[in-house]
Amino acid sequence: MKILVAGGAGYIGSVCVEQLVERGHDVVVVDNLSRGHRQAVHPDAWLEIGDLSDVAFLQRVFSATKFDAVMHFCAASLVGESVSDPLPYYGNNLTNGFNLVRTMLDHGVKHFVFSSTAALFGEPRSVPIDESAIKDPTNPYGRTKLFFEGFLNDCDAAYGLKSICLRYFNAAGASEKFGEDHDPETHLIPIILQVAAGQREKVMIFGDDYATPDGTCVRDYIHVLDLAEAHILALDYLRGENISDQFNLGNGKGYSVLEVVAAVESVTDREILIQMAPRRRGDPAVLVAASEKAREILSWNPTRGSLKQIITSAWQWMDNHRAGYQG
Ligand code: UDP
């Protein structure tokens, strides 16, 4: 298949591109490289550097290749930043997403895989969270993703655009070649690993007064390769069944921030200095997925579920890329 991957130079996108290429698909990556890295694009994929706000650029890319499907990973995706500076969230996640979908429709491309998020649920009424749970985001990031899911439903009803929305819980870990390299880094596991590697003095714990067993936030960490697998299955499902749907993707097991710190200490055999800090705005206390629907309908079978395995893969990637993709 010919697949356009928007955001294929970013963390999750790069691993999905790797998996698509390894399965023999022709991949064109569209990325503005604002947060992604040229070196993160698999050498057998074609990279078009440009921005989704540039409709003429998108028209050129879609005119040059007749795509079978589009995967859309581009997003501003930091919970705290979305609260303090929501404008780029609405611009990137809504306006630019509209441009991409409108251009697809102009060119008769009708299959779309969308990177959605657990953040659209907000503070869950019950855990684990299945697809029918109330969606009441606690931050602008989650709100933009929820709005876009609704937009995709409308595009299905009106234009027959079939989409699969994959709601990631906390993506983590690395493949052998592709991993997480953000600047600045804000995500928990890479930050703790930076402390283990001596690149950072300590990790701040954002809140220890949540209604959780140890007071710190609980998240469901899912290996990026298991997420990539879900994208491949979603594509097959779209092509085979031609039905739109939404799936929650996680392991169904939550770990507190302090448990993640302890797991990193065990994997790396190094002590991690922590410091308690105020809550980060927009953070729900607990996000844990019920992923039975993805297992049943997509035949998704995540195989790298242990936190130790996830952290080990990220640690190995960091060891091989001491300065990230620049190293
Ligand atoms: N967190 C933390 N210190 C950090 C980074 C994150 O305590 O330096 C917490 C954060 O408040 C959240 C959890 O770790 O409860 C996971 O945060 P992350 O940013 O990795 O992912 P998110 O849940 O926002 O998608």
Bridge partners, residue 28, by sequence = 4, 46
For residue 124, the SS3 value is coil
* Residue owning the nearest CA to atom 19 of ligand 1: 187
Instruction: Tell me which residue of 6, 79, 78, 7 sits closest to 36, measured CA to CA.
Output: 7
**CATH topology assigned to domain 2-172+221-249:** Rossmann fold (3.40.50)
Residue-wise pLDDT tens digits, 43-96: 999 999 999 999 999 999 999 999 999 999 999 999 999 999 999 999 999 999
State the pLDDT at residue 103: 98
State the pLDDT at residue 327: 65
Domain residue ranges in the chain:
2-172+221-249, 188-219+252-326
State how far the Cα of 24 lies from the Cα of 4, in Å rounded to an integer.
14
State how far the Cα of 262 lies from the Cα of 327, in Å rounded to an integer.
28
**pLDDT above 70 for 216:** yes
Question: Tokens standing for 302?
Answer: 């995540």
Average model confidence (pLDDT) across the chain:
97
Residue 205 beta carbon below 6 angstroms from any ligand 1 atom = yes
* Residue owning the nearest CA to atom 21 of ligand 1: 187
Residue-wise pLDDT tens digits, 84-130: 999 999 999 999 999 999 999 999 999 999 999 999 999 999 999 99
State how far the Cα of 212 lies from the Cα of 270, in Å rounded to an integer.
26
Residue 217 beta carbon below 6 angstroms from any ligand 1 atom = yes
CATH superfamily entry for domain 188-219+252-326: UDP-galactose 4-epimerase, domain 1 (3.90.25.10)
Whether 188-219+252-326 and 2-172+221-249 are alike in CATH topology: the answer is no
Helices and strands in the chain: count of H runs, count of E runs: 11, 14
Amino acid at 44: D
Q: Phi first, then psi: what are they for 123, rounded to 5°?
A: -75, 115
State how far the Cα of 272 lies from the Cα of 261, in Å rounded to an integer.
7
Catalytic residue among 11, 141, 210, 237: 141
**pLDDT above 90 for 322:** no
Residue 48 beta carbon below 6 angstroms from any ligand 1 atom = no
Active site residue 168: no
State the pLDDT at residue 9: 98
Instruction: Tell me which residue of 2, 109, 100, 110 sits closest to 58, measured CA to CA.
Output: 100
Bridge partners, residue 287, by sequence = 219
State how far the Cα of 114 lies from the Cα of 275, in Å rounded to an integer.
36
State the pLDDT at residue 326: 83
Confidence of residue 309 (pLDDT cuts 50, 70, 90): very high
Strand 111-117 versus strand 203-206 pairing type = unpaired
Q: What angle do CA 81, 87, 91 make, to 5 degrees?
A: 115
Confidence of residue 323 (pLDDT cuts 50, 70, 90): confident
Question: Tokens standing for 13?
Answer: 């996108």
